[in-house]
Copies of this chain bind each other. A is one copy, B any other.
Amino acid sequence: MENINYTLDDVLAFDSRFRTTFINSIGGFKTPVLIGTCDKQGHSNLAIFNSLIHIGAMPPLIGFIARPDSVERHTLQNILDTHIFTINHVREEFYKEAHQTSARYAKHESEFEKVGLTPEYQKDCMAPYVKESSIKISADFVERIDLSINGTVMIIGKIRTIHVPTDCVTIDGFVDIEKAGSIAVTGLDSYYSTRSIGRLSYAKPNQPLVPISSVYLE
Contacts and interface: CB of A to CB of B under 8 A. Distances in A.
A3 B161 CA distance: 12
Contact of A30 (B31, B62, B152, B176): B31
B173 A17 contact: yes
A137 B8 contact: no
Interface in A90-111: 92, 95-96, 99-105, 109
A81 interface: no
Interface residues of A, number: 113
Given A29-B184, A172-B21, A191-B197, A166 B2 contact: yes
A82 to B, nearest CB: 18
Contact of A150 (B2, B23, B24, B61): B61
A173 B26 CA distance: 10
Interface string A30-41: 110100000000
A207 to B, nearest CB: 8
Interface in A4-63: 4-8, 11-12, 14-31, 33, 50-62
Given A51-B54, A56-B150, A173-B21, A205 B165 contact: no
Interface of A: 1-8, 11-12, 14-31, 33, 50-62, 65, 89, 92, 95-96, 99-105, 109, 114, 124, 134-135, 137, 142-143, 145, 147, 149-150, 152, 154, 156, 158-167, 169, 172-178, 182-187, 189-205, 207, 209, 212
Given A2-B166, A56-B152, A192-B197, 15 more contacts: A7-B161, A8-B160, A14-B173, A17-B173, A21-B174, A26-B162, A28-B33, A29-B194, A56-B149, A100-B209, A102-B203, A145-B147, A190-B198, A190-B199, A192-B194
